[in-house]
Structure 1
Amino acid sequence: MSPRMGLDLQKIVQTSIEIADEDGVHAVTMANLAKRLNIRSPSLYNHIEGLPALRNELALHGLRQLYSAMETNLSQSSLQNPVIALGKAYIRFARLHPGLYEATLHASDNQLPEIQKAGNKIIEITLKVLESYHLDKDTALHTVRGLRSILHGFVSLEQNNGFGITLDLDDSLDYILITFLKGIQ
């Protein structure tokens, strides 16, 4: 069977991102994707091997987009502390693309070299902004894990309406990041 005209992997991934951002990453199925594209499910297999491969593509795309958002915010930020700039970019990305963000956590095979490379770029940019704290290698990596835990926890609570008190969320994020940085110093 020949591939459908106008349908390619990029279109499949973009449509999957739309489904994920609207309904969550678990709503991305071959059946839902085919329905959205107005094709039969078997036609998708001309472009992608199946749902596990699609989840890998989403994770890879999400990691690359997250890195790009972090890098862009660092270069354009007027904030004095680059760690806060990275944190704000991370949160902004998750707010704009909740399903794609979720997909970064759900690769079918996070050992694929491309996925590892994309994830490592995020670690590297974070380590770079932490250089001014003069941390040894292990402490810096623990700090990256701590920062990621804070940011992911914040995203998770926000996306699940876990912040019920009427305090500004961005003010809370600033407070949390500043407190974290004071702990590093």
Structure 2
Amino acid sequence: MLAEGGWPAVTTRAVAERAGTNVGLIHYHFGGLPGLHEAVAHKAGREIVGSVVDALVAAPDAPAALGAVRALVPATTGDGQRVRLAVEVMAGSLRDPMLGTVLRQELRTARERIGARLAELYPSWSEGRRAGAATVLVALVDGLLLHRLLDTALPVDEALTALGDLLGDRP
């Protein structure tokens, strides 16, 4: 519903109708519209960020992670519903402090998961270095997705190849 009509479409009445239940049950379960919006933001954040993080933490090494990002950027930006969902979550987080808190937490969780994977791959790195690298990786993916949304001709492959060259991860 969020991807279909934005935050104004996500009402307790509309959700109850879509779920085939009554409005009272939605109010009881979520504590009203603010709680419903918070739950939707959590689910949307996990859907948007989670799949990208899952691919990154599943990568056995840095070249494979770059390959995952190479595949994810066009796939993610080519999915109209996912794009609308991401835009609505971002716009909502800028307007509503509670939604901003939810998005910040989802991004923090993403950085923590990536940091944990980096600890496995690079055990000699300090916690600060892992946190810094995780921050850069999340920002990189986020930035590539945003730029690709704005410019479908963005040379993602070339950018990631150049990054691999800079990191010395090319064979």
Matched, 1:51 2:41: no
- What corresponds to 1:125 in structure 2? 113
Please report the TM-score for the alignment, with normalisation by the length of structure 1.
0.55
The separation in 2 between residues aligned to 1:21 and 1:63, in whole angstroms, is: 12
Q: Which moved more, 1:34-43 or 1:139-148?
A: 34-43
User: Any conservation in 2 of the 1:20–1:98 contact (CA below 8 Å)?
Assistant: no
1:121 CA drift (Å): 4.4
User: Any conservation in 1 of the 2:2–2:9 contact (CA below 8 Å)?
Assistant: yes
- What corresponds to 1:156 in structure 2? 146
1:163 CA drift (Å): 1.0
Number of equivalent positions: 155
Percent of paired sites with the same residue: 12
The separation in 2 between residues aligned to 1:183 and 1:32, in whole angstroms, is: 53
Distance 1:82-1:54 versus aligned 2 partners, 3 A rule: farther
User: Any conservation in 1 of the 2:66–2:160 contact (CA below 8 Å)?
Assistant: yes
The separation in 2 between residues aligned to 1:41 and 1:122, in whole angstroms, is: 35
Unaligned runs of 5+ in 2: none
Please report the TM-score for the alignment, with normalisation by the length of structure 2.
0.58
The separation in 2 between residues aligned to 1:82 and 1:133, in whole angstroms, is: 18
- What corresponds to 1:22 in structure 2? 4
Secondary structure class of the residue paired with 1:46: helix
Distance 1:36-1:102 versus aligned 2 partners, 3 A rule: farther
User: Any conservation in 1 of the 2:77–2:83 contact (CA below 8 Å)?
Assistant: yes
- 1:41-120 equivalence runs, <5 A: 42-43=23-24, 44-65=26-47, 66-68=49-51, 70-71=53-54, 75=58, 81-88=63-70, 91=73, 92-93=75-76, 95-96=78-79, 97-102=82-87, 105=90, 106=93, 108=98, 116=105, 119-120=107-108
Which protein is richer in helix relative to its size? 2
Matched, 1:179 2:169: no
Unaligned runs of 5+ in 1: 1-18
1:69 CA drift (Å): 5.3
The separation in 1 between residues aligned to 2:156 and 2:123, in whole angstroms, is: 21
